[in-house]
Amino acid sequence: MRPMHISPDHPSLLRIVDDLATHGWSQHDLFLPQALSLALAAECLQRAAEGELAPASVGRGAAQEVVERIRGDHIQWIEPGQAEVCDRYLEVMESLRQALNRGLFLGLEDFECHFAMYPPGAFYRQHLDRFRDDDRRMVSAIIYLNEGWRPDDGGQLRMSLASGVVHDVQPCAGCLVVFLSGEVPHEVLPAQRDRLSLTGWFRRRGNEPF
């Protein structure tokens, strides 16, 4: 699989920058090529089959705990060099990081992400992505990996927008949603089948002491 370099000046990335500046969120229904989306889904399913995805926790540090009444997904964090298909996706996100810094001057230094699988019936209660005691997460980015997803499969991302509008995103393969981490409350509705995504955050330098 060839490297996937996208210029930070690509029209799709510039649209995301404009959307964030204007609305605080952006949605692209066909952001990734189908071949890459399918390959990422296969990678996620393989890791799940091998038992590498673990129940996600809530909270930070010593306060972390698994609370299924709040969230029920299983995750594994992605590191560069683990898999070629993941590295291709990280290359795309690096181009987006550069575009966000050029257009919005956010000072984003890195990107962290994990595979997430929601088994049937699992959900995630409404929350913000930025922790109360850690302001590093600035922009959230979620790519969905579910081929042939139908509205009655459920699993929508429900965002509560500043305008008072509730917006639902169908988690269809190749769809990218980007939003300001500290400003958009959101939740994941229960699904009728396994729901796959790569969920990540662009981070700035924090205010923690050195």
How do the domains of the chain map onto residue ranges? 11-55+70-204
Higher model confidence: residue 134 or residue 133?
134
CB distance 87 to 46 below 8 Å: no
Q: pTM, whole model, 2 decimals?
A: 0.91
The more confident residue out of 90 and 163 is 90
Mean pLDDT of 145-172: 95
Percentage of the chain surpassing pLDDT 70?
Answer: 89
Burial group, residue 81, by CB count within 10 angstroms (0-12, 13-18, 19+): exposed
pLDDT of 209 above 50: no
- pLDDT tens column, 46-91: 999 999 999 887 655 555 555 566 889 999 999 999 999 999 999 9
Mean of the per-residue pLDDT values of the chain: 90
Cβ-Cβ contacts under 8 Å for 51 (sequence gap 6 or more) = none
The Cα 40–Cα 54 span in angstroms is: 18
Domain 11-55+70-204: top CATH class: mainly beta
Paired tokens of 145: 């990996």
Angle at which helices 11-22 and 84-104 pack, to 10 degrees? 50
Measured distance CA(183)–CA(129) in Å, rounded: 9
Report H helices in the chain.
11-22, 34-49, 84-104
136 phi, psi to nearest 5 deg: -75, -35
**For residues 182 and 93, is the Cβ–Cβ distance under 8 A?**
no
Q: Write phi, then psi, for 199 (nearest 5 degrees).
A: -115, 130
> Minimum mean pLDDT among 45-49, 128-132, 170-174: which range?
128-132
Radius of gyration of the chain (CA): 16
Dihedral pair phi/psi, residue 37, rounded to 5°: -60, -45
Query: Which residue, among 205, 203, 194, 178, has the nearest Cα to 29 in the 3D structure?
Result: 178
Classify 12 as helix, strand or coil: helix
Does the CA dihedral 210-204-44-186 come out positive or negative? positive
pLDDT digits (tens, 9 = 90+) for 103-121: 999 999 999 999 999 999 9
In the predicted structure, residue 131 carries a pLDDT above the cut 80: no
